[in-house]
Chain A
Amino acid sequence: MDSDTSPVPAIRTTNVGVTFGGVPALREVSVDIHRGEIHGLIGENGAGKSTLGKVIGGYHAATSGGMEVFGEPALAWDPPAALARGVAMMHQELQLVPALTVAQNVFLGIEDQNWGMLRPTEADRLRRLMETSGFSLDPHAVVADLSIADQQKIEILRALARDARVIVMDEPTSSLSKDEVTQLHQSMQALRDEGRTVIYVSHFLEDILAVTDRVTVLRDGEHVKTGPTSQETKASLVSAMLGGGKTETPFPQKRPPSDSEIVLDVAGLQSDAGVRNATLTVGRGEIVGLIGLVGSGRSEIARAIVGADPASAGTVSLNGTPYENRSLAVSTERGIVMVPEDRRKHGLVMTLPVRGNMTLPHLTHFSAGGLIRRRLERARVTELIDYFRVRPTAIDGDVSTFSGGNQQKVLIGKWLLENPQVVILDEPSRGVDVGARERIHEAIAEMAAGGAAVLLISSEIEEVLGLAHRAYLVDKGVTVEEIDPNQSDEAGVLSALFAHQASAEIKKAP
């Protein structure tokens, strides 16, 4: 910790600017990142935080301005040059070779070799490295079998194996569960305590507040402020990110459902994908939450309800009539839809324009004799673009170039296109900016107000508590408890979840 007062910063950017295809992504950003600190980079999507991280890591070239690394100018700066000078980057999508072992991945490119012949020493080298850094992984485990949290540790070890003194982590927590995030934060603190510098790019305010020493806020590619995290609050960061003193958006007003008629009734549902006993009801105009830790089977329950996975037992009824032999096409036809959690993998076809994506599940209703009714299609898609305020507004817009928030709006619009009576939303606001999140929350409240039965799945407990009328806790594919969101807080829900998990472990033990 003695390096805190060192006069030469680890990284100093001077008026750094970056333009992509004529559009500025960063403008005149000057930041000092001290040695031995965890430095948060925060901002909305498109604010330039990842771009700045990638400039430091050598993945983007600055179009103007300069950078110094440990007091020396960074010239001809690319990833190998950065690594040679002790700056390593950990990407949002991990860059590991899944078929190789932990040790092989850590020493990829710096293998112990003799005239190109490998020497089988990497397991021992890794054990030595782990002794000094405090990580513990099985050197012989194959990466594909490991959790994402463990894979991130490999990335960190890989940086340490190259003796990185600065490690840039770009949105490392976006696919981690709560306790995995805690583990990662402990790793960051361990790195800092050794005198290394961690640059933590994230849009999760709680994470930044929990672990960073200093924080830099960016907005629209411009530097807003840099200062000690201890002087910041959630409200102060949000207002800096959004500008104009706006504080975090409250959830839309909960409107109690007008009648108690049950639309979706699920009893004893099981599937081979990991649903062991799901029992729940959702009424007309009601928003019901499903809360569980990552891997609890929340998404699998949704998949079994709409027929994406075959159910092995249990019943699903719609308006009191049993719905058997479920398939996705029939579900869409009957107005029971699921917005999947991963928009890139399961949600959108990135090579199709907005129009093609939105009508994809509904083509039978937008065609006559196999021909697409283009006028009808355009009209309905335009309505949804307006309703969700998708930007850009082009109905033939290339979704692959949209921001995460606008992609998510297109995805939700795709499933709302025919005003379904049951909407299951899986992580509807993951990885989207504050503005899009607010719009999506409004839309969820409006769906319910319009009479839809909404089942809301989210790993953000606050989101479920803020939107839902009722909620179920899920553990290992079982709906274990029903709670009243208005009488619960995040800490209470979490401890209830852990209690269920612990009691299940005890029951399982002999």
Chain B
Amino acid sequence: MNQFAIARFLQSYAVLIMVVVLIVVLSTMSDSFLTVRNLLNILNQNAPLAIMASAMTLVIIAGGFDLSVGAIFAMGAVCSAWIALHVNPFLGLALAPLIGLGLGTVNGLVITMLRVHSFLATIATSLIFKGIAIVISDGRLIPVRMAEFTWLGREKIAGVFNAVWIMLIFAVILTFVLNRTTFGRKVFSVGGNEEAAILSGIRTDRIKIATFALAGFAAGLASAIAVSRVSLGQASAGTGMELQAIAAVILGGTSIYGGVGAVWRSVAGVLLLALINNGFNILNADPFYRDLTTGLVILAAIGISAGGKRR
């Protein structure tokens, strides 16, 4: 019984244990690590990824995969910058999440109407979205140097960057939705046993579409924050972020088979990836070893949580 309890604890908290270990190690190795300034910077830099990983958690719990969020991020960045430049900077920021919501809904509709695996469908739509982003931007950078546009990514409230506040609020809302609402319960049931969910009268297609719409919304929101921070929209923004988001979710112990997972653990997964990067920077370590180290840490976390699942 005791072994079981330990195993379950490891499976749920492996990612947190790794984060704590890294924090302890880094703070003993460098004085500049454990400072409010450095920690807030880490959070700020990774807020867009954490927002995307939070929403990706729901997609994966419902048994799906979204490889197009990087491309939606690019669409959001380009459209946001274009609208800011040609129409209104506030409108540009406000429309990015809605454009993401629309593209995510398209993903959901394609997957449920064509009955194809989300993995395949989102590979295709990601190319389409990225292609549209390139056409809109005409393959060029769109600089937006206006205070009305950059406030979102650069300013602070109560000493903390706006991005961090948005990320925290978003993650808390999603946690609440997942655990306390009927929608959240249905998300778990669709990923856990779709057949049983259908026989329980749940319209599982609608739930799936909603999770993809949410992932799109999150990617759009993340892109608004990021593009506002760098005051530059470009179609190559967000490249690779879909894989980082999925890696963070899996690092958090959310099952790729669906039915099991938690949002906060995905945020912790983002933090873990971020700490490794930060460690390389403040220790002035050879960046050639960065990918190797990241890979080993991911493997260790997956190993710990897999150990918990074994009987």
Q: Could you tell me which A residues sit within 8 Å of B by CB distance? A: 20-23, 308, 327-332, 338, 340, 345-352, 356, 359-361, 363-364, 366-367, 370-372, 374, 414
What are 24 A-B contacts with C-beta separation under 8 Å? A20-B311, A21-B3, A22-B1, A308-B198, A308-B199, A328-B199, A329-B202, A332-B201, A346-B196, A348-B193, A348-B196, A349-B189, A349-B193, A349-B196, A349-B259, A350-B192, A351-B258, A352-B259, A360-B200, A361-B201, A363-B186, A371-B180, A372-B180, A372-B185
Contact check, B198 vs A328: say whether CB atoms are below 8 A apart.
yes
Of A308, A340, A352, which contacts B189 at CB under 8 A? A352
Q: Can you list, as one digit per residue, whether each of B155-176 has a CB less than 8 Å from chain A (1) or not (0)? A: 0000000000000000000000
A332 cross-chain contacts in B, Cβ below 8 A = 200-201
Of A346, A352, A367, which contacts B188 at CB under 8 A? A352
Contact check, B311 vs A349: say whether CB atoms are below 8 A apart.
no
A100 to chain B: closest CB distance in Å?
23
B183 cross-chain contacts in A, Cβ below 8 A = 370
CB nearest neighbor in A for B258 = A351
Q: How many A-B residue pairs have CB under 8 A?
A: 90
B180 cross-chain contacts in A, Cβ below 8 A = 371-372, 374
Q: Could you tell me which B residues sit within 8 Å of A by CB distance? A: 1-4, 180-183, 185-186, 188-189, 191-193, 195-203, 255, 258-260, 311
In the bound assembly, the distance between CA atoms of A29 and B258 in angstroms comes to 40
Contact check, B199 vs A338: say whether CB atoms are below 8 A apart.
yes
Contact check, A351 vs B197: say whether CB atoms are below 8 A apart.
no
A203 to chain B: closest CB distance in Å?
23
CB nearest neighbor in A for B186 = A363
Contact check, B182 vs A349: say whether CB atoms are below 8 A apart.
no
B192 cross-chain contacts in A, Cβ below 8 A = 349-352
B259 to chain A: closest CB distance in Å?
3
A374 cross-chain contacts in B, Cβ below 8 A = 180
Contact check, B201 vs A331: say whether CB atoms are below 8 A apart.
yes
B1 to chain A: closest CB distance in Å?
5
Contact check, A346 vs B202: say whether CB atoms are below 8 A apart.
no
Given A352-B188, A366-B182, A370-B181; 5 other pairs, CB 8 A cutoff: A308-B198, A328-B198, A338-B199, A349-B189, A360-B189
Q: A356-B185, A371-B181 are in contact. Are A351 and B200 (CB under 8 A)?
A: no
In the bound assembly, the distance between CA atoms of A351 and B180 in angstroms comes to 17
In the bound assembly, the distance between CA atoms of A173 and B3 in angstroms comes to 35
A345 cross-chain contacts in B, Cβ below 8 A = 193, 195-196
In the bound assembly, the distance between CA atoms of A364 and B203 in angstroms comes to 13
B9 to chain A: closest CB distance in Å?
14
In the bound assembly, the distance between CA atoms of A412 and B282 in angstroms comes to 59
Of A22, A352, A367, A414, which contacts B182 at CB under 8 A? A367
In the bound assembly, the distance between CA atoms of A124 and B181 in angstroms comes to 61
CB nearest neighbor in B for A22 = B1
A350 cross-chain contacts in B, Cβ below 8 A = 192-193, 259
In the bound assembly, the distance between CA atoms of A372 and B178 in angstroms comes to 11
